[in-house]
Amino acid sequence: MQPSSETPSPKFPARKAAGKKPSNGTEAARKMHARTKVTNGTQILPGIVDTRSVLGRRYRDVLHAVVSDAGGFDHCSEIKLQLARRFTAASLLAERLETDFVNGEAKEDLVTEFSSLCSALVRLATRIGIERVAKEVLPSSLASYLDSVDNNRSIDDSGSDNIDREET
């Protein structure tokens, strides 16, 4: 088999197509259409029919917030994404327990259940990384930044931009 020339999913640009090395030493990558919808990024979890429910939307929102804090989908390994999914599910369970408590529908063993859930959340958060990872918004070097500024100034000076300027 020859290596696949297909590119990885645009949702996960830093990832390469999964594949195993055959015994002859050449790499064989799976075809992109042979991957699951979860792997391709078109579904959050396998088997979810409708993510428009309240819990489905909340799960998606919390998952995206956690992954964003960890640096984004393109900077997270699969292990970190799996931990983020577990953290999200545990967070939703904790929110449900908190809602039951506030509504007066709490069970007797709520304290032990809630405290063990909170401990699991803390452990998962430390594995994922509690500190928010900032995305780089400036170019990698000062020289490339100054070049871009000079290019923008030359466009302004030549008058080829489409901005009408009023002279006072």
| Residue 72 included in any domain | yes
| Residue 117 included in any domain | yes
User: Do residues 159 and 150 make contact, with C-beta atoms less than 8 angstroms apart?
Assistant: no
| Residue 53 included in any domain | yes
**Distance (Å) of CA 66 to CA 75, 102, 116, 132:** 13, 25, 21, 9
> Which are the contacts of 85, defined by CB distance < 8 A and separation ≥ 6?
45, 63
Residues 124, 82: Cα–Cα separation, whole Å: 10
pLDDT, residue 150, reads 79
* Tens digits of residue pLDDT in 44-72: 777 777 778 898 899 999 999 999 988 88
- What does the angle CA 112 – CA 116 – CA 122 come to, to the nearest 5 degrees? 145
pLDDT, residue 27, reads 47
Domain that holds residue 110: 38-128
pLDDT, residue 104, reads 87
* Tens digits of residue pLDDT in 111-154: 888 999 999 999 999 998 887 776 666 667 778 778 877 777 76
Q: Quote the pTM value.
A: 0.58
User: Do residues 59 and 89 make contact, with C-beta atoms less than 8 angstroms apart?
Assistant: yes
| Residue 59 included in any domain | yes
User: Do residues 27 and 21 make contact, with C-beta atoms less than 8 angstroms apart?
Assistant: yes
pLDDT value at 4 more than 70: no
Total domains present in the chain: 1
| Residue 74 included in any domain | yes
